[in-house]
Structure 1
Amino acid sequence: MRRRLTRASQAYGCAERWFPLLTLCLFALILSGLTEAVSVVGQTTRMHVVAKGQVVEGVIRLQNLSPVEQDVRVYLTDYISDDRSGWQFPPAGSLPRSCAPWTRLLQEEIKLRPGEERGVFYRISVPDESDIRGTYWCSIMVQPQTASAVDVRAADDGEGRVLFTLNQAVRYQVAVIVNVGDSGERRLTFTDPQLLRTKEERVVFRVFIENQGERLLHPDIWLELYDDQGRKVGSFSAGKRRVLPGASRTAEFDLSDVPPGDYLALVLVDDGGDAVFGARYSLRFIADNGT
């Protein structure tokens, strides 16, 4: 017996054409040819809790893993990490909550000998202004300047072989996040709830969680499910997700083992502070004996 969902997405899969397959094969071949020349040692997210007017410093340690000398460029960008729009890296200082204007890199170009490890220092000078509150962030990008060629062969229309020569350019992002004390409004909204059947025939409830406040949230997210008699059926975790102001994250809960019936779902988000955010949804699972 399979269950028919009262609200289920039908947008699954895509036409099987040669072009997506060729693109996927090319991507796999390119990845297999990439080699890591310079590595960022340690965590790639640096968190700072500051006060207005304070100056803080940090260091990013780089290591040359290659047998040749590496020239490395270090520079600032902003970044957007959002489950709707994906990753973006706009110019430094372009976002309203960018801390790039406060951040100075003490080195922007360095040479690393084979096997050498060295620190890149940065300094953040927080303005002493009344409207500074909540969370600000930017990226420190690390980009080796030595590009290497990767040969990728792909089949053409059957009359020969096509050779692509690509120059790989790898860069690394180190996220710098600045929290001004415990200030900033915490506010979340829940949007676009959907009950889905996946390609793997799993039943998933999905909702977007949007941070409309002024402060980074890193909450626990879970769903509590109750039947039509008010009895708790179970709790389902979506783990912890880091949500910057203005960004959204998806929370997905696997409800494949829930029997047919009417249910009340409570989605709860707890950042560890005084407030727990929540939303409630009515879900119906209908037995479908005909499929």
Structure 2
Amino acid sequence: MLQFGFLQAGIVVLNGLTHTYKVENGKVYKGKIAIENTGNSSQNVKLFLQDFTYKADGSIYYTAIHTNNRSNGEWIRLNTNLITLKAKEKTEVFYEITVPDQSPNPGSYWSVIIVEPVEDIKPSDDKAGVNITSVIRYAIQVITDFEPEKAKPDLKFESVKIEKEDGKQTAKIAIANNGNLYCKPSVTIEIYNRQTGERLGSYTSTAMGLLPQTSKSFHIDISKVPANQYKAVLIATDEEDNAFALNVELEVKND
């Protein structure tokens, strides 16, 4: 999950931003983060853990470990919190997940490992003031699923909006996961003629991960649909073929 800023330091994470594990109580699991400095000068990088959640309106919250009641941050230990990478150098940082002996409740637990370049503070002869340097931080989700067969996602449709985005009519469908298990759903919208019931088309979003007690907005390009009022069925389906459906009235406008 790439955060803010523009590329300056040239630090990249090579092995993905979501690491998932099926875990059992009392056991230890090992993982790693592969990092490369693509820049032409050496770079210090710090790593630390935070809790993490998000909402469909685009807000993202990074907070202290154990702010979230489904945090696994206290289970995770990094083998280092600071590394120095020479120009073009690659390295791996290792971590261990120690699941408590006392069984947690079934479902998904998570936190994020933040990978953040550290800018050297250089004295400046320029005018007095503060120079602010933007950097790119990476947030790597570490998701542990405990007894997932006893847990389940529970997807709820929060809202449906039709808005122009990049010049295209776009259905923006907010979905919350009110369950206790991480899933990766996609959303399909099936559009029907209001009078005849004839199906006019089916359009599907890309799949996105959805943690428990979070929500996201799934965007679907429906610019091929003529302006009119329609009946529609929204279907959210995850990778385990759990399906959640909702009937809605839909109005597509010209503007």
**For this structure pair, what is the TM-score category when the shorter chain's length is used for normalisation?**
0.7 to 0.9
Which residue pairs with 2:172 in the alignment?
Answer: 206
Contact 2:58/2:216, CA 8 A, preserved across alignment: no
TM-score, with structure 1 as normaliser: 0.73
The worse-fitting range, judged by mean Cα deviation, of 59-68 and 263-272 is: 59-68
Structure 2: stretches of 5+ with no match in the other structure = none
Query: 1:165 is matched by which residue type in structure 2?
Result: N
Residues 9, 43 of structure 2: 8 Å contact kept? no
Match of 2:240 in 1: 273
- The number of equivalent residue pairs is 245
Do 1:147 and 1:169's aligned partners in 2 also have CA atoms closer than 8 Å? no
Residue 68 of structure 2 aligns with which residue?
Answer: 95
Are the counterparts in 2 of residues 203 and 255 from structure 1 also a CA contact under 8 Å? yes
Partner of 1:219: 185
Asked if structure 2 preserves the Cα contact closer than 8 Å seen for 1:222 and 1:239, the reply is no
2:110–2:141 contact (8 Å) kept in structure 1? yes
Give the equivalent residue in structure 2 for 1:19: none
Call closer, same or farther: CA 1:164–1:84 in 2, change over 3 Å: same
Residue 245 of structure 1: aligned partner: 212
Q: Which residue of 2 aligns with 1:255?
A: 222
Percent identity over paired residues: 26
Change (3 A) 1:275 1:167: closer
1:109 is matched with 82
Secondary structure in 2 matching 1:241:
coil
- Assess if the C-alpha contact under 8 Å between 2:44 and 2:84 holds in 1: yes
Of 129-138 and 63-72, deviating more is 63-72
Aligned match of 1:187: 154
| Distance across 2 between alignment mates of 1:164 and 1:70 | 21
2:107 matches 1:123: no
**Cα distance per residue 1:146-172 (max 9 Å; x no partner):** 3377x9xxxxxxxxxxx9733344432
CA distance in 2, matches of 1:277, 1:44: 27
1:223 and 1:134 mapped to 2: Cα distance? 29
Q: CA 1:257 to 1:112, structure 2 compared with 1: closer, same or farther past 3 Å?
A: closer
Distance 1:275 1:142, change over 3 A: closer
> Which residue of structure 2 aligns with residue 166 of structure 1?
132
Query: What secondary structure is seen at the aligned counterpart in 1 of 2:88?
Result: coil
Give 1:216 deviation, angstroms: 0.9
Whichever residue aligns with residue 205 of structure 2, its letter is A
- List alignment gaps of at least 5 residues for structure 1: 1-29, 152-162
1: CA distance between counterparts of 2:239 and 2:83? Answer: 41
Asked whether the 8 Å contact 1:51–1:181 carries over to 2, the reply is yes
Give the alignment of 1:151-162 within 5 angstroms.
Answer: none
TM-score, scaled to structure 2: 0.83
Question: Residues 260 and 87 from structure 1, CA distance in 2 versus in 1: closer, same or farther, beyond 3 angstroms?
Answer: closer
The residue aligned with 1:70 is: 43
Instruction: Name the larger-Rg structure.
Output: 1
Measure the CA separation in 2 of the matches of 1:192 and 1:219: 16
Deviations 1:215-236 (A, max 9, x none): 1110121111121222111101
Contact conserved, 1:224 with 1:266, CA < 8 A, in 2? yes
- In the aligned structure 1, how far is the partner of 2:47 from the partner of 2:184? 28
Given candidates 198, 209, 215, the residue that maps to 1:231 is: 198
Q: Alpha-carbon deviation of 1:271?
A: 0.9
Offset from partner CA, 1:26-51 (integer Å, 9 cap, x none): xxxx84xx522433222122121212
Structure 2 vs 1, CA of residues 46 and 194 (structure 1 numbering), >3 Å: closer, same or farther? same
Letter of the aligned partner of 1:249 in structure 2? K
Report the 3-state secondary structure (helix = DSSP H, G, I; strand = E; otherwise coil) of the residue aligned with 1:101.
Answer: helix
RMSD of equivalent CA atoms: 2.9
- The whole-number CA distance in structure 1 between the counterparts of 2:39 and 2:168 is 44
